[in-house]
Structure 1
Amino acid sequence: MLHSSRQKRNILLSEKPKVKSRKENNNIKQLVKTRCRRCGKELYTLANPINGSLETMHKYQGICRDCISNKENLEMLMDIGKDIQAKYLSGNRFY
């Protein structure tokens, strides 16, 4: 049976998206409200690191974009890259 474009639209709108509950979704990260260590600006950060280690997170956590220098930003990206390499490429395991 062929549907008109309006009927197709109504069918799509009537379908409810499948939403995972908190118990099903293990990838939920918690946001933490904090202030910049340097200027005091309010910012939000993740409670746990996504790509880096806890060491890297604690080193750069709490510094806003306006306050971080280009050198620090480069160092942070290099540290995160090293963390990713150590986590995923150790033992010649490629994902």
Structure 2
Amino acid sequence: MEETPDVAAPIAWDIRREGRSWTPDEFSARADRLLGVELEVSKGKLFGNEKTRLLILRMLLENVGTDAVVQLGDLGRWKEAVATAEREHGAL
């Protein structure tokens, strides 16, 4: 009988407009995902894979909040991205 590797339970991300601190349980669940992750650059991108990049982004978004994030780029591009997401979700 083969043993299956430990699979971490999915995280219920709580990304708000304003950043927030994690509870001790949230910190543990998120920090556990970072074990073994090293800062690296591969082909001009941080971290070796998209899964790790998205994990780090979700963590930062919870802590920083979306209001701060939209200040970091061209507002028109954020609006385009939101409009595209709305069209795609509306098509479901």
Is the shorter-chain TM-score for this pair beyond 0.5, marking a shared fold? no
Between structures 1 and 2, the one with greater helix share: 2
Between structures 1 and 2, the one with greater strand share: 1
TM-score (norm 1): 0.28
TM-score (norm 2): 0.29
Larger radius of gyration: 1
